[in-house]
Structure 1
Amino acid sequence: MRIFCFSPFGYEGNLVTVEVDLRRGIPAVDIVGLADNAVKESRERMKSAIINSGLLFPPERVLISLSPADLKKEGAGFDLAIALAVLSAKENLENEDSAFQMEPILVIGELELNGNIRPVKAIHAAAATAYASGIRYCIVPAANAEEAREIRTMKIFGAENLTEAFNALKNTESFSDYKTSHIEEENVNTIKDAVEINGILFPPEEFEFKEICGQQELVRGLQIAAAGKHNLLAFGPPGCGKTLSLQRFPALVPLLTKEESQSVTRIYSIAGILQAGTRIIKKAPFRQPHQTSTIEGMCGGGIHCSPGEISLAHNGTLFLDEAAEFRTSVLQILRVPLETGVVTLSRAGRSTIFPANFQLLMSMNPCPCGNYGSKEKLCLCSARSVEQYWKKISAPLLDRIDLSIQVEKVSIENSNSSQSISTSELRKEIAAAIKIQRKRGKRNSRLSPSEIKEFCQMNSEAKKILDEATETYEFSPRSVSSCIKIARTISDMKEENIIGKNSMEEAVKFKKPAGTMNLLA
């Protein structure tokens, strides 16, 4: 029987073969295979756990080999695999006809000195990697069993302690997969109180947009952004409601598809932030990092090449509140992932590629004091300081923002709640647009130039409006593409095949530079 473990590194990770040789000599335990300190210390934890579990530790000299030998082994998840490899080697040595002849098996878990098994991270990634390599059996901590069972047809055993794990090696009937351990619908997107609109599933209504009064343009922009997965920037004075509105954006985003859920769950499993008992993440991530975030915190890195905020926002939303307060270098690293949907990390001669297909939302003040353009307060910022403030958000990054919305402060007296639209009403047009885009196989914000020509056909009036706007506002080729993609989304919301005049006019309104943004021209 071959026992495998998993060494997490980046998004992929590596399977590690655990081999044990018992030989004559002074009793000792040796580990070879480029193990770090946490793995080397497993010798003592493993030995104490075996003895305290009432099992016999072999009196021979124990040699443990972790291969491939040139791959550094890191983490405490090797404890259980090493312990079971030692026990099975002892059993096979004493009895050549022992029951330890089952198929290759993945074993991962951290041992306590009393033999109990502690949960570890990256279980979902380990099980998925093992399944792709042809391994069909897996022993994991009981707390991580549901996470591992999400890999369909993978036989899983959740062990509370070393004794249970050791007994499971002899009895394959104790392993169970997803279908035998769950009596529920096959659709992984079904969650409690999920709302289905036109075949698209949305999370329960936690936020109500009808409570946002007097900001119809901002709410409309958020609706279009959710329908086409467009990047959005909202800027306005403090207290105008831009942050409150953008924080309610998850209510407009549908639940993840099965394929989207798998990659998101893998990333959160690797990061070690998957909640206990969670099988799969069904709600689209919504990440809101602090303004003091570093480059490593945003794009990932560190000793183990852990995912950063842009990868944790994969298939979801990254919200930068007060975007101009972030370091310029942090904002600039967003440009390539926004374009490619991935981020590449390198460390010590190794590299990994994390998916980073996120939607960017940003909010900011119009100037350092926040009063630029205000009718009520006086702005004390010089034109130079306002210009420098906006240049923190470089022109190339702004060019990748599809929707730019200037938010005005609305008094309670002037706000009209009757014009506000409820969350359920907003979702109807979003669902119609997303259903069309899923049939195409790609969201509108990700359409390539060739796909724009294929899917974004315009009538003569819409083309004329786009040409006039391009000349008036000196749109770059990327801005022209953004206008067309926004118009395509608006048309999808109306279920129109051809982009018409009204759709293009609204798209140009959201794309053209307004107010303070003219300083960059």
Structure 2
Amino acid sequence: MHIFAFSPAGFDGYMVTIEVDIRRGIPGVDIVGLPDGAVKESRERVRVAIRNCGFEFPSDRILVNLSPAGIRKEGASFDLPIALGILRASGQIEEEHERPDVMVLGELQLDGGIRPVHGVLAAALTGLSRGITRFVVPEANVLEARAASRGLVLGIRHLREAAHVLRLKAAPVYAFSKEANTGNNPELENFSDIKGQDVLRRALEIGAAGRHNLFLFGPPGSGKTMAARRVPGLLPLLTREDSIEVTRIHSLAGTLPFHQGLITAPPFRIPHHSASMEGMIGGGKQVKPGEISLAHKGILFLDEAAEFRKPLLQSLREPIETGRVDIARAAGTCWFPADFMLIMAANPCPCGNLGRDEAACLCSLHEITLYWKRIGSALLDRIDLRVPVKPAAVTDLVGSEPEPAINVKNRIREAAERQKKRYGTSGFTFNSRIPPGLVRRFCTLSPELEELFVRAVKKLSLSSRACHSILKVARTIADVSGDEKIGKYHVLEAVQHRRYGDSHYFWKSSP
């Protein structure tokens, strides 16, 4: 039997073999194989925990090799596998007969207690891909490990229990081998709160149905932030495959609560405009996923978008196109998934009064131009729906109730099912993700519509990406309407959502 640990490397990771050799010499513990500070410190935690649990710590020279040696080992999850390796090498854990290899994860307390660790789901999936079928994890990580749905997961609270598990003289505290599909689906805010803003409601519905990027601009208090916060409540729950990916990312980032299984609701992330590049894209000394990866299969909402630093906003362009982010470091390159729906909101000018009838804008044209240049035309070109948001009239706020949110959610669910059926095994699910080479195949137009579309493109001087964007939005509008073919009004509505931005000098003042 071999004891394995796990070392994350971006979204992937490496299995680490724990090898222990005990020989005569000056008492001490040497850990080799590129351990970081936390792994080096484990020698003292392991020593004290073994003694406090009633075992004998060998009074010889101990060499712990973390193989392969060329990979940096990080984190405190190596405590438990190193301790079990020492107990096994010193003959204090005797196996009745040869047992399958086991992956062990856990941080040790000085009294022998086992603390939970992050990245357990990634470790379990990596182990399963390499033929590991037994996993010993902290009790608080059992549900997370079970989410892999295969193999035998043994949850333990104490080092003594872990030793019993390897001896197989006593049953583990927890033993699961069945599929788990638990997770968070918090109560979301009601879409029916948006009143008197039919264009805004329609754009949000289209965006949610096809996962199209949106840009909401308007004066303060017009309801941009409130509207964006209602979108998560419209999205269907994640598929199991997507749930595993999302849970894996949040586990690696350390944002997944312990004692929790799969995340089943699409994530909704709202980073502050002062976020750093590493916080948004990912990175750091110990590479962690950023906000764009934490929003994978969900929504990334940038409120006050023009207040974000321009380099940070421009760094979103590649992930929007590819659905992933590659992080290059001197030690190597790693990657994380980043397939998200982007919603941005901004005021029309620095003071926020531009376009308001009841207030005067005090900003100069130069100030307004600089304000919009922070976003830039390259990022704006990747926004499918541009929505001007005006404050709702008082009569609308106190008048009749809008369409129930459940009706909108049902249309979005049905549209998503149509898209899933249409694209099958094509490698994408939503209309916004149609590759450029397949747009004409899935977004066909009649000759009359083709002529109308060409006239609109010429009149608005649209780029090739904008042309594809209009076709994909028209395809989504047809799906929401329950139509198999794209019609005239679908195209006109798609053009209208694009025209709001292209005809306004804000966008044209951007580089």
Shorter-normalised TM-score: what interval?
over 0.9
Q: Secondary structure at the match of 1:389?
A: helix
Q: Is the 8 A contact 2:155 2:175 kept in 1?
A: no
Q: Secondary structure at the match of 2:22?
A: strand
- The alpha carbon displacement at 1:488 in A equals 0.1
Identical amino acids, percent of aligned pairs? 46
Q: 1:325 to 1:204 in 2, by over 3 A?
A: closer
**Alpha-carbon distance in 1 for matches of 2:87, 2:51:** 11
Q: Is the 8 A contact 1:284 1:317 kept in 2?
A: yes
**Alpha-carbon distance in 1 for matches of 2:2, 2:504:** 63
Aligned residue among 329, 332, 346 for 1:347: 329
1:43-62 pair list within 5 angstroms = 43-62=43-62
**Residue 474 (structure 2) aligns with:** 487
Q: 1:506 to 1:425 in 2, by over 3 A?
A: same
**Alpha-carbon distance in 1 for matches of 2:259, 2:243:** 16
**Residue 126 (structure 1) aligns with:** 123
Q: Is the 8 A contact 1:214 1:416 kept in 2?
A: no
1:159-170 pair list within 5 angstroms = 159-170=156-167
Q: Is the 8 A contact 1:205 1:423 kept in 2?
A: no
Q: 1:349 to 1:145 in 2, by over 3 A?
A: same
Q: Secondary structure at the match of 1:207?
A: coil
**Alpha-carbon distance in 1 for matches of 2:51, 2:398:** 73
**Residue 306 (structure 1) aligns with:** 288
- The alpha carbon displacement at 1:414 in A equals 4.8
- The alpha carbon displacement at 1:80 in A equals 0.2
Report the residue type matching 2:175 in the other structure: S
**Residue 143 (structure 1) aligns with:** 140
**Alpha-carbon distance in 1 for matches of 2:171, 2:132:** 16
Deviates more, 1:478-487 or 1:437-446: 437-446
Q: Is the 8 A contact 1:99 1:170 kept in 2?
A: yes
Q: Is the 8 A contact 2:206 2:477 kept in 1?
A: yes
Report the residue type matching 2:23 in the other structure: R
1:149-298 pair list within 5 angstroms = 149-171=146-168, 174=172, 176-179=175-178, 188=181, 206-298=188-280
Q: Secondary structure at the match of 1:277?
A: coil
Aligned residue among 429, 445, 448 for 2:432: 445
**Alpha-carbon distance in 2 for matches of 1:211, 1:283:** 21
Q: Deviations over 1:226-265 (max 9, x none)?
A: 1000000000000111110101110111111011111111
- The alpha carbon displacement at 1:345 in A equals 0.8
Report the residue type matching 2:453 in the other structure: L
**Alpha-carbon distance in 1 for matches of 2:17, 2:187:** 47
**Residue 74 (structure 2) aligns with:** 74
**Alpha-carbon distance in 1 for matches of 2:409, 2:256:** 28
- The alpha carbon displacement at 1:35 in A equals 1.3
The reply on whether 1:17 has 2:4 as its aligned counterpart is no
Q: Is the 8 A contact 1:209 1:421 kept in 2?
A: no
Report the residue type matching 2:263 in the other structure: I
Report the residue type matching 1:482 in the other structure: S
Q: Deviations over 1:117-143 (max 9, x none)?
A: 111111111111111111111111111
Q: Secondary structure at the match of 2:4?
A: strand
- The alpha carbon displacement at 1:465 in A equals 2.7
- The alpha carbon displacement at 1:416 in A equals 6.5
Q: 1:68 to 1:179 in 2, by over 3 A?
A: same
Aligned residue among 93, 100, 104 for 1:103: 100
Q: Deviations over 1:33-77 (max 9, x none)?
A: 121221111111101101101112223321111111111211111
- The alpha carbon displacement at 1:516 in A equals 8.0
Q: Is the 8 A contact 1:345 1:353 kept in 2?
A: yes
**Alpha-carbon distance in 2 for matches of 1:519, 1:300:** 31
Q: Deviations over 1:462-493 (max 9, x none)?
A: 32332221111111111111110000001011
Unaligned runs of 5+ residues in structure 1 are 183-187, 193-202
**Alpha-carbon distance in 2 for matches of 1:334, 1:210:** 31
**Alpha-carbon distance in 1 for matches of 2:447, 2:366:** 42
Q: Deviations over 1:385-433 (max 9, x none)?
A: 1122111111011000000000112231354643622210111211121
Report the residue type matching 2:43 in the other structure: R
**Residue 431 (structure 1) aligns with:** 413
**Residue 117 (structure 1) aligns with:** 114
Q: 1:52 to 1:370 in 2, by over 3 A?
A: same
Report the residue type matching 1:274 in the other structure: L
Q: 1:414 to 1:141 in 2, by over 3 A?
A: closer
| RMSD of aligned Cα (Å) | 1.9
Q: Is the 8 A contact 2:235 2:413 kept in 1?
A: no
Report the residue type matching 1:111 in the other structure: L
Number of residues of Structure 1 aligned to a counterpart in Structure 2: 501
**Alpha-carbon distance in 1 for matches of 2:342, 2:46:** 46
TM-score (norm 1): 0.92
**Residue 65 (structure 1) aligns with:** 65
**Alpha-carbon distance in 2 for matches of 1:437, 1:160:** 46
- The alpha carbon displacement at 1:507 in A equals 0.6
